[in-house]
């Protein structure tokens, strides 16, 4: 029986940043889990030379591909090329399908879909001038439209809203730092949560809800999970942004709501395999969906693995669920 699983990962450049290098860490961890499951893992970088990648996949003839591609040629806007090519080759692959990857990786597009479906997501203004402004919000975060891992997100990303023209000027100033296309999103003052989901052959399971705590942050310090909080191990932000899974009884209604909204997002975007939904909760207790993360990070020290541990699901068991879902 064919037991070969190709782990398709981003092609990492010699001068790669910490967030890019993490993709290799994921690949090694997944390979270890596949070994425990008696599969034969083969690591393969997803190169801009698509013909080479395609011919290598055809030569290997894997049972399935474990797709953890996050960028192509260091560009998040090309992330959907990986599942699209696997679709064309008719090779089973893990995680979300092409349409879901494209729709959710383009953050303004995903926000339009959520608004149309009745899912609350913060107001925003896009680079081309499109605006969805329903509420009076005084501050906005300038964010990348495509790049993941909080690329370019820091305390300087927060600006005061004066008018639409000024906001667009600020967006335009930051486009190079943010990898090109970017947008402004209303900043929701309040708590931050994320919800991980994983599916087996029959159904999707909502893993324990996590809240991000901003410990020892001064009252005036911006409380967001920015690039430093995710990747700079020597920074204040990294060491004081803490994840928790236990909640008092008075949060039970909120937790239930986050689980329900996460399942709605799963169905609206036709997600598959595994995903993560990021939320902010305003000071009135209302949840706002920030982003839909298809194929989120599977490093053992990342949030998804932490949620698995809370569910008493071993890492290799989760990898088995994800593989089984791909080849069912």
What would the DSSP string read from start to end of 82-126?
HHHHHHHHT--BSS--HHHHHHHHSHHHHHHHHHHHT-----EEE
Question: Distance between CA 241 and CA 223 in Å, rounded?
Answer: 9
Residue span of the structural domain in which 197 resides? 190-209+245-326
Q: Are 192 and 224 in contact (CB under 8 A)?
A: yes
| Residues 74 and 142 occupy one common structural domain | no
119 Cβ neighbours under 8 A, 6+ residues apart:
261, 264, 265, 268, 289
pLDDT tens, 18-68?
A: 778 889 999 999 999 999 999 999 999 999 999 999 999 999 999 999 999
Q: Residues 285-308: what's their mean pLDDT? A: 96
| Residues 172 and 298 occupy one common structural domain | no
The verdict on residue 239 lying in a domain is no
The verdict on residue 235 lying in a domain is no
| Residues 259 and 203 occupy one common structural domain | yes
The verdict on residue 220 lying in a domain is no
The verdict on residue 98 lying in a domain is no
The verdict on residue 167 lying in a domain is yes
The verdict on residue 135 lying in a domain is yes
pLDDT tens, 81-126?
A: 999 999 999 999 999 999 999 999 999 999 999 999 999 999 999 9
pLDDT at 15: 73
CATH number of the CATH domain containing 258: 3.30.470.20
* Sign of CA pseudo-dihedral 200, 102, 269, 119: positive
C-alpha Rg value of the chain to the nearest Å: 20
| Residues 88 and 141 occupy one common structural domain | no
Total number of domains in the chain: 3
DSSP symbols for 33-48: HHHHTT-EEEEEEE-S
Q: How confident is the model at residue 149 (pLDDT cuts 50, 70, 90)?
A: low
The verdict on residue 311 lying in a domain is yes
pLDDT tens, 215-268?
A: 999 988 889 888 888 888 899 999 999 999 999 999 999 999 999 999 999 999
Q: Are 175 and 145 in contact (CB under 8 A)?
A: no
| Residues 197 and 162 occupy one common structural domain | no
pLDDT at 166: 84
Q: Residues 169-175: what's their mean pLDDT? A: 81
Closest CA to 128 of 148, 98, 149, 106: 106
E strand or H helix that includes residue 207: none
pLDDT at 158: 87
Boundary (domain end) residue, out of 171, 186, 201: 186
| Residues 169 and 249 occupy one common structural domain | no
Q: Are 158 and 140 in contact (CB under 8 A)?
A: yes
């Amino acid at each position: 029986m064919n037991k070969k699983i190709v782990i398709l990962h981003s092609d990492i450049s010699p001068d790669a940043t910490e967030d890019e290098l993490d993709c290799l860490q994921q690949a090694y961890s997944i390979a270890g889990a596949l070994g425990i499951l008696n599969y034969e893992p083969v690591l393969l970088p997803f190169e801009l030379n698509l013909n080479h990648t395609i011919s290598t996949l055809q030569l290997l003839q894997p049972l399935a591909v474990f797709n953890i591609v996050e960028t192509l040629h260091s560009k998040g806007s090309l992330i959907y090329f990986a599942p699209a090519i696997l679709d064309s080759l008719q090779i089973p692959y893990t995680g979300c399908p092409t349409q879901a990857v494209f729709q959710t990786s383009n953050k303004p597009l995903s926000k339009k879909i959520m608004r149309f479906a009745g899912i609350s997501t913060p107001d925003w203004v896009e680079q081309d001038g499109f605006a969805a402004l329903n509420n009076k919000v005084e501050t906005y975060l300038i964010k990348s439209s495509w790049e993941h891992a909080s690329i370019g997100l820091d305390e300087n990303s927060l600006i005061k809203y004066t008018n639409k023209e000024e906001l667009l000027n600020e967006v335009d100033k930051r486009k190079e730092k943010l990898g090109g296309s970017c947008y402004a999103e209303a900043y929701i003052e309040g708590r931050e949560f994320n919800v991980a989901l994983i599916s087996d052959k029959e159904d999707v399971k909502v893993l324990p809800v996590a809240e991000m705590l901003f410990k020892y942050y001064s009252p005036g310090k911006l409380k967001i999970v920015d690039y430093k909080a995710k990747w700079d191990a020597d920074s204040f932000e990294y060491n004081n942004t803490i994840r928790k899974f236990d909640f008092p009884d008075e949060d039970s209604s909120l937790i239930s709501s986050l689980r329900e909204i996460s399942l709605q997002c799963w169905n609206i975007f036709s997600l598959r395999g595994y995903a993560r939904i990021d939320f902010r909760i305003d000071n009135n207790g209302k949840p706002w969906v920030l982003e839909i993360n298809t194929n989120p990070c599977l490093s053992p020290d990342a949030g998804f693995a932490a949620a698995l541990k809370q569910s008493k699901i071993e890492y290799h068991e989760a990898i088995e669920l994800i593989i089984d879902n791909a080849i069912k």
